[in-house]
Amino acid sequence: MDSERTVATVLADYLRQAGVAHVFGYPGESVVDFMEAARDAGPAMVAAVREASAAFMAEGAAMRTGRIGACLSTLGPGSTALLNGVAGANLDRVPLLAVSGQVESSREQYWTHQLVDQGRLFAPVTKLAARLEPGSADTVLRKALRTATAERPGAVHLTVTTDTFGMRVGGSGNGGTVPPLAPAAATLDFYGEEPLRQLRAARRPVLLAGGGAVRCGAEAALADLASRAGLPVVVGAMAKGVLSEDHPYFAGVLDMAGHQVIWELLASADLIVTAGFDPVELITPWRLDVPVLHVDTTPNTDQVYPAAVEVVGNVAAALAWLLASWQGEPRWSEAEVAAHRAALRDGWQAGYAAGRLNPSEVVTTVRSAAPSGTVVTTDVGSHKIMAGQAWTAYTPRETLITNGLSAMGFGLPAAIGAAISSPDDPVVCLTGDGGFAMTATELSVAARLGLGLVVVVFSDGSLNRIELHQSSLGYPLTATAVDRIDIPSLAESLGCDGVRTDSVSGLEKALASAFADGRVRPLVIEARIDTAQYAAQF
């Protein structure tokens, strides 16, 4: 069997073993040998409309499944187009293997047409940018998978010259076996003083949870610690659902709508206990003068906040250990946290315009219509800041948000990636009109694949988040208008259903059959919103 192994078949084989069902990409001559190798045995190739979207589809699939995502481009213009989504996965801490072809080896050192040094191009936006070659293919693939998934996870890019794909890979040796890809199950290291003493001494501690808690499966440990010790839990947007948002100690999402109320809560604490929180999610600079007990899979090498004590290892194990040693009364009462949540709700409702379609109402109306288990993605802009707070999440990996790179153009492709890898779950995409315009033609991919997505466009005719910034500086609005397009007609021309509404009742009507079983045509709803809420609070 070894004699039949080529670089292309070995790559496909490792991807399958790593649980990759789909490679999202865009063809070019340099990668057809890989596509052919994957055609029979998988992973299945899903062609996007452009490479950047393919990378975001792979990111969405990986966010949803917790497994590594994979995307593919050709050389030169394909790889440069792929870059944004690769950077997105890297800063969002999502494991991604990106593969680009390259001109054949004999010309690579001197050729100029379509030639880009892909190693240097991808190095700053990945954990590793390497080359796949026959002599080391097994080792490099194991290294790529292990590097992408090791804490903190991120992107790895591999360049493969055209001729390499067909080359034989030597004896399997130690090859063929995928290394462990999950975070460590139970290790804990301690740095600084005794963490238990710090926690016990605190009277008003608050937990701040993030992506590390999701990756470590820390939901139960987090909920137990919060309830027993009486600790309010603030979460990062990418960790939404790690504590069910109907839990009595849920205290809101950091740096989303109503953010001042959350920062006031954190400022009132006498200790912040992080739980896999990643400072990449901070939009506001950290100005708190509150001690931090850093609990994460990695040491506090960012130093965005100072922490004298660190517990480093599996976040679920760390929280369970803190709970096992917990003594004393709950530090906060449920009533206190409920009062904070009421203030937070007032915060994100601020600016409500009676009789108009408010952004918060779009979010809550869609949430009410969506069955439990619905997966939601957002794009980037004011609508994300609103949805990040106003959408009620119950389970992790159901709310897929980019809050690391925060690139527009993520929401719709990520919804496609999530829907194809989780075909039994309803999927909703909440997007601004600017981000929708960037990626709208990807709707044809959803239609082709029969994905009954629901896409809700927050239609305000503006790059609202930037427009607000211009206004706050007293500048006239420049280049921040979004050209009005006929969104329902565009949707229909791409094989989807499309409707427009400017009222809650119209939105409810549009959603009435949106989640019916067996719907295979994507539905696009243009929601003409009033932006007073954004102006009032962002």
**Residues near ligand TPP, by CB under 6 A:** 379-383, 406-409, 432-435, 458, 460, 462-466, 482
Closer to Mg ion at the Cβ: 402 or 464?
A: 464
Q: What is the C-alpha to C-alpha distance for residues 198 and 177, in angstroms, rounded to an integer? A: 44
Closer to Mg ion at the Cβ: 90 or 480?
A: 480
313 binds, among ligand TPP, Mg ion, none (CB under 5 to 8 A by kind): none
- Residue with the shortest CB distance to Mg ion: 432
Closer to Mg ion at the Cβ: 262 or 376?
A: 376
Provide, rounded to whole angstroms, the least separation between the CB of residue 5 and ligand TPP.
40
Cβ(32)–Cβ(59) below 8 Å: no
Closer to ligand TPP at the Cβ: 211 or 432?
A: 432
Closer to ligand TPP at the Cβ: 219 or 467?
A: 467
Q: Which helix (H) or strand (E) holds 445?
A: helix 443-448
Provide, rounded to whole angstroms, the least separation between the CB of residue 48 and ligand TPP.
16
Q: What is the C-alpha to C-alpha distance for residues 300 and 270, in angstroms, rounded to an integer? A: 19
Provide, rounded to whole angstroms, the least separation between the CB of residue 487 and ligand TPP.
12
β-strand pairing of 205-209 with 233-235: parallel
Closer to Mg ion at the Cβ: 432 or 522?
A: 432
Provide, rounded to whole angstroms, the least separation between the CB of residue 240 and ligand TPP.
18
List, edge to edge, every strand of the sheet that includes 96-102: 44-47, 22-25, 69-73, 96-102, 155-161, 128-131
Cβ(156)–Cβ(129) below 8 Å: yes
Closer to ligand TPP at the Cβ: 196 or 405?
A: 405
Provide, rounded to whole angstroms, the least separation between the CB of residue 459 and ligand TPP.
8
Closer to Mg ion at the Cβ: 272 or 529?
A: 529
281 binds, among ligand TPP, Mg ion, none (CB under 5 to 8 A by kind): none
Provide, rounded to whole angstroms, the least separation between the CB of residue 157 and ligand TPP.
19
Cβ(115)–Cβ(103) below 8 Å: yes
Q: What is the C-alpha to C-alpha distance for residues 127 and 147, in angstroms, rounded to an integer? A: 7
> What per-residue string of b and e applies to 309-319 under the rule 16 or more CB within 10 Å gives b?
bbbbbbbbbbb
Closer to Mg ion at the Cβ: 281 or 460?
A: 460
Angstrom distances, CA of residue 429 to CA of 44, 85, 417, 426, 436? 23, 17, 11, 10, 10
Cβ(124)–Cβ(89) below 8 Å: no
Provide, rounded to whole angstroms, the least separation between the CB of residue 78 and ligand TPP.
18
428 binds, among ligand TPP, Mg ion, none (CB under 5 to 8 A by kind): none
Please report, as a single letter, which amino acid is at residue 64: R
Provide, rounded to whole angstroms, the least separation between the CB of residue 120 and ligand TPP.
22
Q: What is the C-alpha to C-alpha distance for residues 406 and 429, in angstroms, rounded to an integer? A: 15
498 binds, among ligand TPP, Mg ion, none (CB under 5 to 8 A by kind): none
526 binds, among Mg ion, ligand TPP, none (CB under 5 to 8 A by kind): none
Q: Ramachandran region of residue 472, left (φ > 0), alpha (ψ -120 to 50) or beta? A: alpha
- Residue with the shortest CB distance to ligand TPP: 432
Q: What is the C-alpha to C-alpha distance for residues 224 and 209, in angstroms, rounded to an integer? A: 14
Angstrom distances, CA of residue 283 to CA of 16, 84, 245, 330, 386? 37, 20, 22, 31, 14
List, edge to edge, every strand of the sheet that includes 375-378: 399-400, 375-378, 427-432, 454-459, 523-528, 497-501
Closer to ligand TPP at the Cβ: 219 or 460?
A: 460
Closer to ligand TPP at the Cβ: 434 or 452?
A: 434
Q: Which residues bind Mg ion (CB under 5 A)?
A: 432-434, 460, 464
Provide, rounded to whole angstroms, the least separation between the CB of residue 524 and ligand TPP.
15
Provide, rounded to whole angstroms, the least separation between the CB of residue 497 and ligand TPP.
22
**How many C-beta atoms surround the C-beta of residue 344 within 10 A?**
25
101 binds, among Mg ion, ligand TPP, none (CB under 5 to 8 A by kind): none
Provide, rounded to whole angstroms, the least separation between the CB of residue 466 and ligand TPP.
5
**How many C-beta atoms surround the C-beta of residue 131 within 10 A?**
17
Nearest partner of 500 among 512, 511, 515, 488, judged by Cα: 488
Tokens at residue 226, please?
A: 């919060």
